[in-house]
Structure 1
Amino acid sequence: MKTLQVKNQWDMSRFFIHICGFLLLLEWVRPLIGITNVGRLDIFVIFIGICFTLSFFQTKWQIPIKVVTILFIIHSLYYKNAFINPSWLTTFFSDLSQNASLFFQGNLLDISPVFPTFLFFLSFWFLSSFISFWMIHKKRGLLFLILTIIYISTFHNLHLYNSNYAIIRTVVIGFFMLSLLQIERIKESEQLQNYARHLTKLLRPLAIFIVLSTTIAYFTPKFGPQWTNPMNFLKFKTSEVNEKPKVSKIGYGLDDSQLGGPFEADHTIVFTAQTQNKQYWRVETKDFYTGKGWEVSEKPKKISFKNKNDVMSWYEQNIKMETTAAMITMQKSYPHLIYPAGLVSVEATSDISYSVDPFSEKIYTMNGDSSTTLNSYKVTYETPQFSIENLKAVKPNEGHETSSYFRTKYTQLPESLPQRVKDLAVNLTNDKDNRYDKVLAIENYLTDNSFVYETINVMVPAKNQDYVDQFLFDTKKGYCNNFSTSMIVLLRSASIPARWVKGYTEGTLDNTLGDSVYKIANNNAHSWVEVYFPGYGWIPFEPTKGFTNPYHFINNAPASTSQNSEVINSNNEQMQQRNNEAKLKSLIENTEEVSTKKITNSKKEFSWWYVFLSTIPMSIIGYILFTTRMKWLTFFMILFYKYRKGDAVYPKAYDALLKQFARIGIPRNESQTLREYALRIDTLYSSTDMQQLTLSYENAMYQKEQGAAEWNKSVQLWEALMKKAASMPKSIDFDAVI
């Protein structure tokens, strides 16, 4: 014989079991923070919470809700079209197909983040369903607790996660969960109807045991990782491994936060450019050096322009410039422009606009509000001439340098930068009396014979080792990322504003394609340096050994010859092939990496305390809504039916009333007639309301034309019965009223 009191106790027990399942599954998410390239793991915590919430409320449409939630989150992270626009789904399924192919080919470095994100969603969906089945239906939780402990311990012993306190949390949560499940099993086997007074006796020794064991575990010495770290080989996390690391292919990519490691050449053509001038082709800049690589210090921002670039400028008023044009034909599809510095305008199809992030200077191609790609386009740009004499005359702390924000942004260095790097910068520049000579001294130092251009035997810094420090003092071997990053760090150590630029070199001239047509391949992916000179703007420099700066630097000083000027660093006829450059890991996609990093602070890690604390009020609100569901469901049902007209209303409203009584534990038996059931209800309430309503309902059913009239006469009676059901005392034993 069941009572509502027992039912509510069961709901509370289920509530805490679901909370325990959620917290245990949360322990599966934590170790992934440091080893996955999926930018935001909090989205999986939210998804897991939704899964357990749906399980607790026993929602009928769980699968559609979960599918829509997954698609909505993936769309908000990786796609720009409106969610209700089905075109993004075509792109999404195409991405899944391509990434699945790369996955089965073993080409893991080229997989885009959308694929592992989708797999994580499926994995946590399965795990949450697995937990709900075994804990709620089978009332068994030991298996999942053991799996969780093995999972955490494995990550700990592989040096991937410090699980000292995670194990303690897991055991505490697990003991509490197992105790609840054991109580439920005892209740069912002994057919206990009122076990509240026994619950305290059962939980008291359990609480004492958990507190004592947790205290002992907290203060007991703990073993460190016991196995060799396999990530030394798999992820190139240290320069001291003996195994030969996996070699990736060169190509433009998004993630520059972990530079280093070997690569192999890739001759795939990215685009061709028909132009009379050789120059580097830009994609974006980055300003925040982390000690391991580069990031953008500001949150992404989008500023639109149609054809004329009125957002960005690179050169200032003192530079002599000449306007020219180039025709770009893309061989690979990217949702952004590849463009030269000094860009004035872009000509493409009429319905194309451009959205630029002024902090990274990345220009996205847009068709309305959606991202798109261009097959070909024409760029008009200004080619500069840099006067060496004028650059030597530049005074610091003028122009943009009067802004403390600007100086802080472009002279930023991590606090962990070794002192010997700063000392080297001082030694290279302290005898120079102008900025240009200081920059040239650092550039010449890196092109000296002591440094070697190398693409294969290139190490990744160890965990506590700085990327630049390793290159300058230990290996002295590397490619463009090593040289360019080292020059910028040395410049900033000398208080000279500088930034990191990535894109492509000018490529290889191919007259078979037409007049002055250059082929630019993945091999031409490159990074270089831009230094700020007040009054002149951002001036490019090339520190990578074997590469020549394609921009014109002229000397205006008088010479003994008849010429008044000579080209110092002009187009070099013996320009080397740009093969084997740049360690760049993955194909470009239309994604924005939202950085919460501030200029003077290191990146802030995601705080799980916020997630944990936010689940408490959410769980309380959810439980309150669940326990009071009869009242607010009744309100909405009355509102839905009361003011409706027509013959079809009465049958639906009467059926809703029957469901209302069934919901509180008074279902109608299959063998009962409506009049017998109405008598049962009226006996319970000591009234005749249900019998009167049933007679009216039968009249409406037998005389179809009287349906609307009967409903109008009985709607108040129906409303009163709905409210009576919603306010039924919890202590009433319904089974006794048979």
Structure 2
Amino acid sequence: MQQAKSHTFSLLLYLLGFLLLWEWLRPLSVITNNGSVNYFVGFAAFSFLLTYLRLPYWLTFPVKFIAIVYALHLLFFYNTSFFSGLWVDYFFEDLRENLIFVFDGNWVGLTDLFRSFIFFILLWIISYLMRYWLLQARRIFLFFFVTIIYLTILDTFTMYHADLAIVRTMIIGLVLLGLLRVIKIQEKEKVSFKRKKLPLSWMLALVVMVALTSAVGYAAPKFGPQWPDPVPFIQKAANGYEEYGSGQKDAKTGGAVQQKIGYDSDDTHLGGGFSMDDTPIFYTSGEYTHYWRVTSKNFYTGKGWINKPEGKPQKVDLSHLSDYPILNLYESGTEVKKSTDTIEYLGRNFPQLIYGGSLTGIKALNQKNADLQLNENSGLFEPTYHGRHISLKSYTLEYQYPTFSIPKLSRVKGTANDPEVIKSTYLQLPTSLPARVRNLAQELTGNETNRYDKVQAIVNYLQGSDYTYQIDDVAKPSGNTDYVDQFLFDTKVGYCDNFSSSMVVLLRTVGIPARWVKGFTQGTYKETLSDSKYEYEVKNSDAHSWVEVYFPGSGWVPFEPTKSFDNINSFNYASDTEDSQTTSTPEKTQDQQEQQEKQQQPEKQEQKTAEAKTTTPKDFHLSLGTVWKVLALIVLLLLIASFILWRSRKKWLPGYLLRQYSGRTDDHALDQAFRKLLYLLQLYGYKKRPEQTLREYAERVDRHLGTKDMGRLVTKYEERSYYKADPHQWSDCKESWENIIKKLRG
């Protein structure tokens, strides 16, 4: 086909194909946190250009790979020299770790660096497919149709507005379909155009039709949405939402939501059961065991928790953490010890920073130039990189570990010493709170004379026999039902959110400032490290919520009201002048200490066994020698695969050639197909002797195969070669060529 060989015409097809692909990339800046879409667009354009130039693979392959590596350097390591080996080592370490995640099915653990690398590879593949779709198969409708579906889904379920994108895509797609249809008609009817150009009348008709249909479609009146918003329904279906029937049963349970346990930033509607998820999230190592804080919330709505005011994240000055009141948990009357903890995430899928105690420093962030944003109303840390939210891999915390004096806590009576800012923020309750909640709090604390005893009375009540800890079939309040009231008086079944929320509300009703805190428990003990620190593994199932109560002179003191959980914080029973003797909560002091010592000091034989086991994913360290071993293994596998393909080529090559030339209609198809057939005949033992002419060779092949197809094919080939016959003779002899291959394949 003469027109297809026109560089100008091919360039037009490639340009339209690139514009169609661009519509896939435009929404990324809206639906993701990726602010660097231009890098992907630039690489896609570069790949299309190299594909259009039809340079040899041995040149385009390394050029495109270098372009990907350079783009990744600009995205993630721009402060490091491109020729530095440090970022290359990091890249290969990250690649190896993510490949393990892929084989383990841990898709959420994949890092941004690896995702970007895979996306560049995908764009590379698409640039090759575009060449096949546009210049060989002459089919683009499927990609065009999928693009329309893609845009409509994004317009429905995301913040991306695809109004103009749909119009652009329709115009580009219709023009492409029209041009490819014209080419097919020209090939089928064997029409030759002068100067290898499409007639102006054809082009004009195509442009007018596309412009007319686009204008009518854009200007015509359109129906509004005919269905209600499908997003809430789909979200409920995805979460396994199931409403109970009306009547007494509904009033009692309020419905149930089967969720998967783990940290969730949305606490506006608490309740509903969940299933366990023991996926590990991070490892911690430190001298002391404590809960891991993510955020706290101050405003109870009757259904859940929010922060008022909500607050906006601000960049943190890490050298002045003491300037942030939300981080200063303890006051001067609390005995504290300085300590450090190290946190290492198993997958970069947790975009918040966890911490324990009263923070004094954050160091060793694994990503250079990363900033930390702090919400000063909730204490929530979020790492960012040039304005984009990221997930850290590791960091080190410096903090103060407290020991609370029970005699000192017991001396707090009344609310006279509570600062006004504390009382105005942490005594809030909804006006709709049922009176029986207040009456219960008065009943529980009425005989106590100090704040500590009042708090402990509520803890003991919630951990008593009247309440049951359960994670499945847990009520979710509906209508005007209060979340805490439903748990305290109706269901009496729930998990940490039920117990902790109830304790905060009960304390506030008697004038004791308290707040709701969420994060993770200490996790599961793994081993004792050489520096006398304990290593713990924290999983999704360790997500937890607890209570902090304000004591003047001591600060915010953590309490654990959830049944089957113990308060692992350090309390001192001695008077202020006596030597410290630390334990846990009053009732469980000796038992908890023995249990903790038993947990933290496993048998020596178990330690030896644990040390002999394979390291966990967090221990990956990739040396340059390991990189070469991995590369050598990949090369070896490729060589083995190539050898197997070469040895079995008689089985797969005939079918491959039949598929390769089934849609060919260009003027070079006959020459190339004939040469491939000669190679295939030689492979099957029909080698042409030097003294034989093509006709003699064809007679021998036909005699062995029992056909006359080889003779007819040679005749057409000679006419094509010597007499400049019709270049489209391939369609006349294609059947003979296929018959010979099918005979060889048997």
Larger relative contact order (Cα-Cα within 8 Å, sequence gap ≥ 6): 1
TM-score by length of 1: 0.50
| Greater fraction helix | 2
